[in-house]
Chains A and B, each alone.
Chain A
Protein backbone atom coordinates (compact mmCIF):
# COMPACT_ATOMS: atom_id res chain seq x y z
CA UNK A 1 0.00 0.00 0.00
CA UNK A 2 1.49 3.27 -1.15
CA UNK A 3 0.82 6.24 1.08
CA UNK A 4 1.55 9.90 0.50
CA UNK A 5 4.13 9.70 3.30
CA UNK A 6 5.83 6.90 1.44
CA UNK A 7 6.09 9.04 -1.66
CA UNK A 8 7.49 11.89 0.41
CA UNK A 9 10.07 9.56 1.92
CA UNK A 10 11.01 8.23 -1.53
CA UNK A 11 11.36 11.78 -2.74
CA UNK A 12 13.49 12.72 0.22
CA UNK A 13 15.85 9.80 -0.36
CA UNK A 14 16.05 10.70 -4.05
CA UNK A 15 16.73 14.37 -3.22
CA UNK A 16 19.53 13.39 -0.83
CA UNK A 17 21.11 11.11 -3.45
CA UNK A 18 20.85 13.93 -5.98
CA UNK A 19 22.65 16.24 -3.57
CA UNK A 20 25.39 13.65 -3.02
CA UNK A 21 25.94 13.23 -6.76
CA UNK A 22 25.74 16.98 -7.45
CA UNK A 23 28.40 17.62 -4.80
CA UNK A 24 30.57 14.76 -6.03
CA UNK A 25 30.41 15.64 -9.73
CA UNK A 26 30.75 19.39 -9.18
CA UNK A 27 33.78 18.86 -6.94
CA UNK A 28 35.29 16.32 -9.32
CA UNK A 29 34.78 18.49 -12.39
CA UNK A 30 36.07 21.68 -10.79
CA UNK A 31 39.14 20.02 -9.30
CA UNK A 32 39.92 18.52 -12.72
CA UNK A 33 39.51 21.83 -14.53
CA UNK A 34 41.47 23.78 -11.91
CA UNK A 35 44.40 21.42 -12.26
CA UNK A 36 43.87 20.70 -15.92
CA UNK A 37 47.50 19.91 -16.77
CA UNK A 38 47.84 17.58 -13.82
CA UNK A 39 44.65 15.75 -14.78
CA UNK A 40 45.89 15.43 -18.33
CA UNK A 41 49.19 13.95 -17.17
CA UNK A 42 47.31 11.51 -14.95
CA UNK A 43 45.27 10.40 -17.95
CA UNK A 44 48.38 9.99 -20.10
CA UNK A 45 49.96 7.94 -17.30
CA UNK A 46 47.06 5.53 -17.32
CA UNK A 47 47.91 2.43 -19.34
CA UNK A 48 44.28 2.17 -20.52
CA UNK A 49 43.41 5.79 -21.25
CA UNK A 50 46.70 7.17 -22.56
CA UNK A 51 45.77 7.15 -26.25
CA UNK A 52 42.39 8.79 -25.53
CA UNK A 53 43.75 11.35 -23.07
CA UNK A 54 43.23 14.27 -25.47
CA UNK A 55 39.49 13.60 -25.73
CA UNK A 56 38.80 12.38 -22.21
CA UNK A 57 40.52 15.34 -20.58
CA UNK A 58 37.52 17.41 -21.80
CA UNK A 59 34.76 14.82 -21.98
CA UNK A 60 34.92 13.68 -18.34
CA UNK A 61 34.64 17.09 -16.58
CA UNK A 62 32.03 18.37 -19.08
CA UNK A 63 29.93 15.24 -18.59
CA UNK A 64 30.21 15.61 -14.83
CA UNK A 65 29.05 19.23 -14.96
CA UNK A 66 26.14 18.40 -17.28
CA UNK A 67 24.99 15.56 -15.04
CA UNK A 68 25.27 17.78 -11.94
CA UNK A 69 23.16 20.47 -13.67
CA UNK A 70 20.59 17.96 -14.89
CA UNK A 71 20.22 16.60 -11.35
CA UNK A 72 19.00 20.06 -10.30
CA UNK A 73 16.09 20.01 -12.74
CA UNK A 74 12.79 18.23 -12.09
CA UNK A 75 12.40 17.03 -15.65
CA UNK A 76 15.80 15.46 -16.29
CA UNK A 77 16.82 14.28 -12.84
CA UNK A 78 15.84 10.65 -13.44
CA UNK A 79 17.77 10.56 -16.72
CA UNK A 80 20.67 12.30 -14.94
CA UNK A 81 20.53 9.62 -12.25
CA UNK A 82 20.75 6.92 -14.94
CA UNK A 83 23.78 8.80 -16.35
CA UNK A 84 25.31 9.01 -12.85
CA UNK A 85 24.80 5.27 -12.51
CA UNK A 86 26.42 4.75 -15.92
CA UNK A 87 29.40 6.99 -15.09
CA UNK A 88 29.93 5.39 -11.67
CA UNK A 89 29.75 1.94 -13.29
CA UNK A 90 32.30 2.98 -15.91
CA UNK A 91 34.65 4.36 -13.23
CA UNK A 92 34.25 1.15 -11.23
CA UNK A 93 34.88 -1.03 -14.29
CA UNK A 94 37.94 1.10 -15.10
CA UNK A 95 39.34 0.58 -11.58
CA UNK A 96 38.72 -3.17 -11.88
CA UNK A 97 40.57 -3.22 -15.22
CA UNK A 98 43.45 -1.21 -13.72
CA UNK A 99 43.70 -3.54 -10.73
CA UNK A 100 43.42 -6.78 -12.68
CA UNK A 101 44.25 -6.46 -16.35
CA UNK A 102 46.62 -3.54 -16.73
CA UNK A 103 50.44 -3.97 -16.98
CA UNK A 104 50.95 -1.61 -14.03
CA UNK A 105 48.87 0.41 -11.60
CA UNK A 106 49.13 4.17 -12.06
CA UNK A 107 49.22 6.28 -8.94
CA UNK A 108 45.95 7.64 -7.69
CA UNK A 109 47.57 10.78 -6.38
CA UNK A 110 45.71 14.02 -7.11
CA UNK A 111 42.24 14.36 -8.53
CA UNK A 112 39.29 13.48 -6.40
CA UNK A 113 39.80 11.77 -3.09
CA UNK A 114 43.55 12.06 -2.93
CA UNK A 115 43.87 10.05 0.23
CA UNK A 116 42.13 6.97 -1.13
CA UNK A 117 44.09 4.12 -2.63
CA UNK A 118 42.67 2.13 -5.53
CA UNK A 119 40.94 -0.49 -3.37
CA UNK A 120 39.31 2.18 -1.18
CA UNK A 121 38.31 4.00 -4.34
CA UNK A 122 36.66 0.84 -5.59
CA UNK A 123 34.64 0.49 -2.36
CA UNK A 124 33.66 4.18 -2.50
CA UNK A 125 32.48 3.78 -6.10
CA UNK A 126 30.52 0.65 -5.25
CA UNK A 127 28.68 2.51 -2.48
CA UNK A 128 27.80 5.35 -4.88
CA UNK A 129 26.74 2.80 -7.46
CA UNK A 130 24.34 1.26 -4.91
CA UNK A 131 22.99 4.70 -4.01
CA UNK A 132 22.28 5.46 -7.69
CA UNK A 133 20.53 2.09 -8.24
CA UNK A 134 18.42 2.57 -5.08
CA UNK A 135 17.47 6.14 -6.09
CA UNK A 136 16.41 5.08 -9.56
CA UNK A 137 14.29 2.24 -8.21
CA UNK A 138 12.49 4.25 -5.53
CA UNK A 139 11.98 7.45 -7.50
CA UNK A 140 8.20 8.09 -7.49
CA UNK A 141 6.63 7.88 -10.91
CA UNK A 142 4.78 11.07 -10.39
CA UNK A 143 6.52 13.92 -8.70
CA UNK A 144 3.77 15.59 -6.62
CA UNK A 145 3.75 19.40 -6.36
CA UNK A 146 3.75 19.25 -2.60
CA UNK A 147 4.03 22.85 -1.54
CA UNK A 148 3.53 25.14 -4.56
CA UNK A 149 -0.26 25.38 -4.74
CA UNK A 150 -2.28 23.85 -1.97
CA UNK A 151 -5.55 24.19 -3.93
CA UNK A 152 -4.40 21.99 -6.80
CA UNK A 153 -5.19 18.33 -6.35
CA UNK A 154 -2.16 16.06 -5.83
CA UNK A 155 -1.89 13.08 -8.13
CA UNK A 156 -0.11 9.83 -7.99
CA UNK A 157 0.26 7.61 -11.04
CA UNK A 158 0.13 3.95 -10.08
CA UNK A 159 1.80 0.96 -11.70
CA UNK A 160 -0.86 0.60 -14.38
CA UNK A 161 -0.64 4.27 -15.28
CA UNK A 162 -3.96 5.32 -13.75
CA UNK A 163 -3.95 8.55 -11.84
CA UNK A 164 -5.52 9.01 -8.46
CA UNK A 165 -6.34 12.16 -6.62
CA UNK A 166 -4.32 11.69 -3.50
CA UNK A 167 -6.33 14.04 -1.33
CA UNK A 168 -9.53 12.21 -2.05
CA UNK A 169 -8.00 8.78 -2.32
CA UNK A 170 -8.22 6.03 0.18
CA UNK A 171 -4.53 6.37 1.01
CA UNK A 172 -4.98 9.69 2.71
Chain B
Protein backbone atom coordinates (compact mmCIF):
# COMPACT_ATOMS: atom_id res chain seq x y z
CA UNK B 1 0.00 0.00 0.00
CA UNK B 2 2.75 2.43 0.96
CA UNK B 3 4.58 1.67 -2.27
CA UNK B 4 1.51 2.37 -4.35
CA UNK B 5 0.83 5.70 -2.64
CA UNK B 6 4.47 6.58 -3.36
CA UNK B 7 4.11 5.58 -7.04
CA UNK B 8 0.84 7.53 -7.29
CA UNK B 9 2.53 10.63 -5.92
CA UNK B 10 5.47 10.22 -8.33
CA UNK B 11 3.07 9.73 -11.27
CA UNK B 12 1.01 12.75 -10.21
CA UNK B 13 4.09 14.97 -9.87
CA UNK B 14 5.47 13.89 -13.27
CA UNK B 15 2.07 14.43 -14.96
CA UNK B 16 1.69 17.88 -13.45
CA UNK B 17 5.25 18.83 -14.44
CA UNK B 18 4.43 17.73 -18.00
CA UNK B 19 1.24 19.83 -18.17
CA UNK B 20 2.95 22.86 -16.65
CA UNK B 21 5.79 22.35 -19.14
CA UNK B 22 3.31 22.40 -22.03
CA UNK B 23 1.71 25.53 -20.59
CA UNK B 24 5.07 27.28 -20.24
CA UNK B 25 6.02 26.16 -23.75
CA UNK B 26 2.76 27.60 -25.12
CA UNK B 27 3.78 31.04 -23.84
CA UNK B 28 7.07 31.04 -25.72
CA UNK B 29 7.10 28.19 -28.23
CA UNK B 30 10.30 27.27 -30.05
CA UNK B 31 9.42 27.43 -33.69
CA UNK B 32 11.12 26.85 -37.00
CA UNK B 33 12.79 29.85 -38.62
CA UNK B 34 10.24 32.51 -39.48
CA UNK B 35 7.64 30.51 -37.58
CA UNK B 36 4.95 32.11 -35.49
CA UNK B 37 1.73 30.99 -33.89
CA UNK B 38 -1.75 32.43 -34.28
CA UNK B 39 -4.40 32.18 -31.58
CA UNK B 40 -7.88 31.29 -32.80
CA UNK B 41 -10.67 31.79 -30.27
CA UNK B 42 -13.86 30.08 -31.41
CA UNK B 43 -17.03 31.73 -32.68
CA UNK B 44 -15.62 35.17 -33.51
CA UNK B 45 -17.96 35.33 -36.50
CA UNK B 46 -21.47 34.11 -35.83
CA UNK B 47 -24.56 34.71 -37.93
CA UNK B 48 -24.39 36.30 -41.33
CA UNK B 49 -26.62 37.95 -43.93
CA UNK B 50 -25.99 37.93 -47.64
CA UNK B 51 -26.57 40.69 -50.16
CA UNK B 52 -26.00 40.06 -53.89
CA UNK B 53 -24.17 42.89 -55.66
CA UNK B 54 -22.83 43.51 -59.15
CA UNK B 55 -19.34 42.39 -60.14
CA UNK B 56 -16.34 44.73 -59.84
CA UNK B 57 -17.82 46.65 -56.96
CA UNK B 58 -15.28 48.21 -54.62
CA UNK B 59 -15.67 49.42 -51.08
CA UNK B 60 -14.75 53.09 -50.96
CA UNK B 61 -15.22 53.82 -47.29
CA UNK B 62 -17.82 54.23 -44.58
CA UNK B 63 -19.56 57.02 -42.73
CA UNK B 64 -21.51 56.18 -39.60
CA UNK B 65 -23.32 52.89 -40.21
CA UNK B 66 -23.25 53.22 -44.00
CA UNK B 67 -20.73 51.58 -46.29
CA UNK B 68 -20.09 53.27 -49.63
CA UNK B 69 -19.44 51.24 -52.75
CA UNK B 70 -18.45 52.17 -56.26
CA UNK B 71 -18.63 50.05 -59.34
CA UNK B 72 -15.69 50.64 -61.67
CA UNK B 73 -17.86 49.68 -64.66
CA UNK B 74 -20.69 52.07 -63.81
CA UNK B 75 -18.61 55.02 -62.77
CA UNK B 76 -21.25 57.69 -62.46
CA UNK B 77 -23.08 56.27 -59.49
CA UNK B 78 -22.26 54.96 -56.08
CA UNK B 79 -24.23 52.78 -53.74
CA UNK B 80 -24.73 52.91 -50.02
CA UNK B 81 -25.16 49.82 -47.88
CA UNK B 82 -26.70 50.29 -44.47
CA UNK B 83 -25.23 47.79 -41.99
CA UNK B 84 -28.11 48.21 -39.57
CA UNK B 85 -30.93 47.72 -42.12
CA UNK B 86 -29.00 45.40 -44.49
CA UNK B 87 -30.18 47.36 -47.52
CA UNK B 88 -28.47 49.08 -50.43
CA UNK B 89 -29.48 52.11 -52.44
CA UNK B 90 -27.84 53.54 -55.51
CA UNK B 91 -27.13 57.25 -55.91
CA UNK B 92 -26.26 58.75 -59.33
CA UNK B 93 -23.66 61.52 -59.59
CA UNK B 94 -22.57 63.81 -62.43
CA UNK B 95 -19.13 64.87 -63.44
CA UNK B 96 -19.32 68.14 -65.31
CA UNK B 97 -15.60 68.61 -65.99
CA UNK B 98 -14.68 68.50 -69.70
CA UNK B 99 -10.89 68.48 -69.38
CA UNK B 100 -8.44 65.62 -69.58
CA UNK B 101 -9.05 62.77 -67.15
CA UNK B 102 -7.17 59.49 -66.74
CA UNK B 103 -10.44 57.58 -66.41
CA UNK B 104 -8.95 54.21 -65.64
CA UNK B 105 -7.11 55.55 -62.63
CA UNK B 106 -10.05 57.48 -61.15
CA UNK B 107 -10.69 56.27 -57.64
CA UNK B 108 -13.54 57.15 -55.34
CA UNK B 109 -13.01 57.74 -51.63
CA UNK B 110 -15.46 58.72 -48.93
CA UNK B 111 -15.01 60.92 -45.88
CA UNK B 112 -17.45 62.40 -43.33
CA UNK B 113 -18.21 65.42 -45.48
CA UNK B 114 -18.56 63.95 -48.94
CA UNK B 115 -17.17 61.99 -51.83
CA UNK B 116 -13.81 62.42 -53.53
CA UNK B 117 -12.91 61.15 -56.95
CA UNK B 118 -9.27 61.51 -57.87
CA UNK B 119 -6.43 60.41 -60.09
CA UNK B 120 -2.87 61.63 -59.72
CA UNK B 121 -1.61 61.50 -63.29
CA UNK B 122 -3.43 64.44 -64.94
CA UNK B 123 -3.94 65.22 -61.96
CA UNK B 124 -7.57 65.72 -60.98
CA UNK B 125 -9.43 65.86 -57.68
CA UNK B 126 -13.23 66.11 -57.71
CA UNK B 127 -15.42 66.52 -54.69
CA UNK B 128 -19.09 66.56 -53.89
CA UNK B 129 -20.76 66.89 -50.49
CA UNK B 130 -23.44 64.27 -49.74
CA UNK B 131 -26.12 66.95 -50.19
CA UNK B 132 -25.19 67.46 -53.85
CA UNK B 133 -24.84 64.98 -56.67
CA UNK B 134 -22.42 66.75 -58.94
CA UNK B 135 -18.66 66.36 -58.62
CA UNK B 136 -16.73 69.62 -58.89
CA UNK B 137 -13.06 69.85 -59.75
CA UNK B 138 -10.81 71.35 -57.11
CA UNK B 139 -8.41 73.89 -58.61
CA UNK B 140 -4.73 74.04 -57.79
CA UNK B 141 -4.12 70.34 -57.30
CA UNK B 142 -0.78 69.06 -56.07
CA UNK B 143 1.23 68.00 -59.15
CA UNK B 144 1.23 64.24 -59.41
CA UNK B 145 0.37 61.76 -56.67
CA UNK B 146 -0.21 58.04 -56.36
CA UNK B 147 -2.99 57.88 -53.81
CA UNK B 148 -5.37 60.19 -52.05
CA UNK B 149 -6.81 59.59 -48.59
CA UNK B 150 -9.37 62.18 -47.49
CA UNK B 151 -9.50 63.59 -43.95
CA UNK B 152 -12.34 66.06 -44.58
CA UNK B 153 -13.58 68.26 -47.43
CA UNK B 154 -10.52 70.53 -47.26
CA UNK B 155 -7.63 68.30 -46.20
CA UNK B 156 -6.30 65.12 -47.75
CA UNK B 157 -3.26 62.91 -47.31
CA UNK B 158 -1.41 62.29 -50.56
CA UNK B 159 1.10 59.59 -51.29
CA UNK B 160 3.55 60.92 -53.80
CA UNK B 161 7.07 60.41 -55.11
CA UNK B 162 9.90 62.53 -53.79
CA UNK B 163 12.62 62.69 -56.52
CA UNK B 164 15.18 64.03 -54.05
CA UNK B 165 14.80 61.15 -51.63
CA UNK B 166 13.95 58.74 -54.44
CA UNK B 167 11.09 57.22 -52.52
CA UNK B 168 7.38 57.55 -51.81
CA UNK B 169 6.38 60.03 -49.15
CA UNK B 170 3.19 61.00 -47.37
CA UNK B 171 2.09 64.61 -47.21
CA UNK B 172 -0.88 66.50 -45.94
CA UNK B 173 -2.40 68.83 -48.45
CA UNK B 174 -4.91 71.61 -47.88
CA UNK B 175 -7.12 71.78 -50.96
CA UNK B 176 -8.25 75.35 -50.31
CA UNK B 177 -5.01 77.06 -49.33
CA UNK B 178 -2.82 74.64 -51.34
CA UNK B 179 -0.62 74.42 -48.27
CA UNK B 180 1.54 71.32 -47.89
CA UNK B 181 2.54 69.76 -44.59
CA UNK B 182 5.39 67.49 -45.54
CA UNK B 183 6.60 64.73 -43.32
CA UNK B 184 9.27 62.88 -45.23
CA UNK B 185 10.60 60.64 -42.50
CA UNK B 186 7.51 58.49 -42.08
CA UNK B 187 7.87 55.92 -44.85
CA UNK B 188 11.09 53.94 -44.40
CA UNK B 189 12.83 52.96 -47.59
CA UNK B 190 14.30 49.44 -47.67
CA UNK B 191 14.84 48.54 -51.33
CA UNK B 192 13.69 50.86 -54.08
CA UNK B 193 11.60 53.44 -52.25
CA UNK B 194 8.39 52.82 -54.21
CA UNK B 195 7.46 49.15 -54.01
CA UNK B 196 9.10 48.56 -50.65
CA UNK B 197 7.14 51.40 -49.02
CA UNK B 198 3.81 50.27 -50.43
CA UNK B 199 1.01 49.80 -47.98
CA UNK B 200 -2.51 50.52 -46.84
CA UNK B 201 -3.37 53.83 -45.18
CA UNK B 202 -6.37 53.47 -42.91
CA UNK B 203 -8.23 56.35 -41.29
CA UNK B 204 -9.59 55.91 -37.79
CA UNK B 205 -12.46 58.41 -37.49
CA UNK B 206 -13.02 57.68 -33.79
CA UNK B 207 -9.52 58.71 -32.67
CA UNK B 208 -8.81 60.98 -35.67
CA UNK B 209 -5.60 59.26 -36.68
CA UNK B 210 -4.10 57.29 -39.56
CA UNK B 211 -2.53 53.87 -39.51
CA UNK B 212 -0.07 52.97 -42.24
CA UNK B 213 0.29 49.23 -42.77
CA UNK B 214 3.27 48.16 -44.87
CA UNK B 215 2.43 45.62 -47.55
CA UNK B 216 5.76 43.80 -47.81
CA UNK B 217 7.03 43.85 -44.19
CA UNK B 218 5.64 43.20 -40.73
CA UNK B 219 5.26 46.79 -39.68
CA UNK B 220 2.62 49.43 -39.11
CA UNK B 221 2.68 52.89 -37.59
CA UNK B 222 0.07 55.31 -36.33
CA UNK B 223 0.11 59.06 -36.90
CA UNK B 224 -2.19 61.95 -36.20
CA UNK B 225 -3.85 63.92 -38.99
CA UNK B 226 -0.87 66.32 -39.05
CA UNK B 227 1.37 63.36 -39.94
CA UNK B 228 3.10 63.25 -36.58
CA UNK B 229 4.17 59.77 -35.59
CA UNK B 230 2.25 58.36 -32.62
CA UNK B 231 3.61 54.84 -32.42
CA UNK B 232 4.85 51.83 -34.31
CA UNK B 233 4.02 48.15 -34.11
CA UNK B 234 4.83 44.87 -35.77
CA UNK B 235 2.56 42.23 -37.18
CA UNK B 236 3.18 38.70 -35.83
CA UNK B 237 5.02 37.22 -38.82
CA UNK B 238 8.81 37.62 -38.87
CA UNK B 239 9.23 39.35 -42.22
CA UNK B 240 11.00 42.48 -41.02
CA UNK B 241 12.74 43.18 -44.29
CA UNK B 242 10.98 43.51 -47.60
CA UNK B 243 11.55 40.36 -49.65
CA UNK B 244 11.15 41.79 -53.11
CA UNK B 245 13.61 42.71 -55.78
CA UNK B 246 13.01 45.49 -58.26
CA UNK B 247 14.16 45.52 -61.84
CA UNK B 248 13.77 47.97 -64.70
CA UNK B 249 13.64 47.71 -68.46
CA UNK B 250 13.40 50.12 -71.39
CA UNK B 251 10.28 50.28 -73.49
CA UNK B 252 9.43 53.01 -76.02
CA UNK B 253 12.38 55.05 -74.66
CA UNK B 254 10.88 54.94 -71.20
CA UNK B 255 12.41 53.16 -68.25
CA UNK B 256 9.81 50.92 -66.62
CA UNK B 257 10.36 49.73 -63.09
CA UNK B 258 8.74 46.55 -61.89
CA UNK B 259 9.04 43.75 -59.35
CA UNK B 260 11.64 41.20 -60.38
CA UNK B 261 10.95 38.60 -57.71
CA UNK B 262 7.93 36.70 -56.47
CA UNK B 263 5.67 39.13 -54.83
CA UNK B 264 5.98 38.33 -51.12
CA UNK B 265 2.99 40.15 -49.69
CA UNK B 266 2.79 40.17 -45.91
CA UNK B 267 -0.17 42.38 -45.08
CA UNK B 268 -2.94 42.49 -47.63
CA UNK B 269 -5.15 45.16 -46.08
CA UNK B 270 -6.06 46.72 -42.78
CA UNK B 271 -9.09 48.16 -41.03
CA UNK B 272 -9.56 49.94 -37.72
CA UNK B 273 -12.36 49.59 -35.24
CA UNK B 274 -12.56 50.54 -31.57
CA UNK B 275 -8.83 50.93 -30.98
CA UNK B 276 -8.11 47.58 -32.68
CA UNK B 277 -6.30 47.10 -35.96
CA UNK B 278 -7.56 44.27 -38.18
CA UNK B 279 -4.97 42.99 -40.61
CA UNK B 280 -5.59 40.53 -43.41
CA UNK B 281 -2.35 38.59 -43.55
CA UNK B 282 -0.88 36.57 -46.40
CA UNK B 283 1.54 34.60 -44.21
CA UNK B 284 0.62 31.20 -42.77
CA UNK B 285 1.41 30.52 -39.13
CA UNK B 286 3.14 27.33 -37.92
CA UNK B 287 -0.05 26.09 -36.27
CA UNK B 288 -2.27 26.54 -39.31
CA UNK B 289 -3.02 23.76 -41.76
CA UNK B 290 -2.12 24.73 -45.35
CA UNK B 291 -5.58 23.72 -46.58
CA UNK B 292 -7.42 25.73 -43.93
CA UNK B 293 -5.20 28.72 -44.64
CA UNK B 294 -5.81 28.42 -48.37
CA UNK B 295 -9.59 28.12 -48.09
CA UNK B 296 -10.04 30.97 -45.63
CA UNK B 297 -8.88 34.52 -45.19
CA UNK B 298 -7.02 35.06 -41.96
CA UNK B 299 -7.44 38.33 -40.09
CA UNK B 300 -5.19 39.22 -37.15
CA UNK B 301 -6.32 41.67 -34.51
CA UNK B 302 -3.86 44.06 -32.83
CA UNK B 303 -4.46 46.43 -29.96
CA UNK B 304 -3.59 49.98 -31.02
CA UNK B 305 -3.23 50.92 -27.38
CA UNK B 306 -0.28 48.61 -26.82
CA UNK B 307 0.54 47.88 -30.50
CA UNK B 308 0.48 44.16 -29.69
CA UNK B 309 -1.11 41.09 -31.24
CA UNK B 310 -4.35 39.90 -29.64
CA UNK B 311 -5.73 36.97 -31.67
CA UNK B 312 -6.96 35.94 -35.13
CA UNK B 313 -10.00 34.64 -36.91
CA UNK B 314 -10.89 33.28 -40.32
CA UNK B 315 -13.27 34.78 -42.85
CA UNK B 316 -14.61 31.82 -44.85
CA UNK B 317 -14.91 31.62 -48.61
CA UNK B 318 -18.36 32.09 -50.07
CA UNK B 319 -19.33 30.07 -53.15
CA UNK B 320 -15.60 29.52 -53.84
CA UNK B 321 -15.12 33.27 -53.87
CA UNK B 322 -12.31 34.84 -51.89
CA UNK B 323 -12.50 37.93 -49.76
CA UNK B 324 -11.90 41.05 -51.85
CA UNK B 325 -12.22 43.63 -49.10
CA UNK B 326 -13.83 44.16 -45.73
CA UNK B 327 -14.97 46.95 -43.42
CA UNK B 328 -15.73 46.77 -39.70
CA UNK B 329 -18.53 48.87 -38.26
CA UNK B 330 -19.49 48.37 -34.61
CA UNK B 331 -20.13 44.64 -34.18
CA UNK B 332 -20.47 43.93 -37.88
CA UNK B 333 -17.84 42.72 -40.27
CA UNK B 334 -18.94 43.47 -43.82
CA UNK B 335 -17.05 41.38 -46.35
CA UNK B 336 -16.95 42.03 -50.07
CA UNK B 337 -16.81 38.93 -52.27
CA UNK B 338 -16.88 38.81 -56.06
CA UNK B 339 -20.64 39.35 -56.40
CA UNK B 340 -21.85 39.22 -52.81
CA UNK B 341 -21.64 41.35 -49.75
CA UNK B 342 -21.90 39.43 -46.48
CA UNK B 343 -22.53 41.03 -43.13
CA UNK B 344 -21.17 38.87 -40.30
CA UNK B 345 -21.90 39.51 -36.66
CA UNK B 346 -18.65 39.65 -34.72
CA UNK B 347 -18.17 38.56 -31.13
CA UNK B 348 -14.84 39.97 -30.04
CA UNK B 349 -13.33 38.91 -26.73
The chain A residues found within 8 Å of chain B, CB to CB, are: 40-41, 44-45, 47-54, 82, 85-87, 89-90, 93-94, 97, 101, 103-104, 106-107, 109, 133, 136-137, 139, 159
Contacts and interface: CB of A to CB of B under 8 A. Distances in A.
Contacts of A54: 287
B286 interface: yes
B93 interface: no
Given A82-B11, A89-B16, A104 B5 contact: no
A82 B31 CA distance: 33
Contact of A97 (B1, B23, B292, B311): B23
Interface residues of B, number: 33
B99 interface: no
Contacts of B40: 44-45, 50
A133 B8 contact: yes
A54 B1 CA distance: 40
Contacts of A133: 8
Interface in B28-44: 29, 31, 37-43
B16 A51 contact: no
B288 interface: yes
B19 to A, nearest CB: 4
Interface string B253-289: 0000000000000000000000000000000001111
Interface string B275-310: 000000000001111001000000000000000000
B15 A89 contact: yes
Contact of B26 (A41, A49, A90): A49
Contacts, number: 86
B41 A51 contact: no
A101 B26 CA distance: 12
Given A51-B286, A97-B19, A104-B311, A85 B8 contact: yes
Interface in B7-55: 7-8, 11-12, 14-16, 18-20, 22-23, 25-26, 29, 31, 37-43
Given A47-B39, A52-B29, 13 more contacts: A51-B286, A53-B287, A82-B8, A87-B15, A89-B12, A90-B18, A94-B19, A103-B39, A103-B349, A106-B42, A107-B42, A109-B42, A137-B8
Given A49-B26, A50-B37, A86 B287 contact: no
A86 B311 contact: no
Query: Which of A40, A93, A133, A136 has the most CB atoms of chain B within a 10 A radius of its CB?
Result: A93
Interface in B69-116: none
Nearest to A51: B29
Given A40-B289, A89-B15, A107-B42, A101 B4 contact: no
B41 A85 contact: no
A104 B4 contact: no
Nearest to B310: A103
Contacts of A94: 19, 22
B242 to A, nearest CB: 27
Given A44-B287, A48-B26, A137-B1, A90 B15 contact: yes
Contacts of B12: 85-86, 89
Nearest to B349: A104
Contact of A45 (B23, B29, B41, B349): B41
Given A50-B37, A50-B287, A101 B23 contact: yes
B22 A52 contact: yes
Given A51-B29, A136-B4, A104 B41 contact: yes
Contacts of B22: 48-49, 52, 94
Contacts of B19: 90, 93-94, 97
A86 B14 contact: yes
A126 to B, nearest CB: 13
7 contacts: A48-B23, A49-B22, A50-B39, A50-B40, A82-B7, A89-B16, A136-B4
B113 to A, nearest CB: 40
B306 to A, nearest CB: 14
A92 to B, nearest CB: 9
Contacts of A41: 292
A93 B43 contact: no
Nearest to A45: B40
B131 to A, nearest CB: 46
Contacts of B4: 136-137, 139
Contacts of A106: 41-42
A97 B12 CA distance: 16
Contact of A107 (B15, B43, B286, B349): B43
B144 to A, nearest CB: 48
A51 B288 contact: no
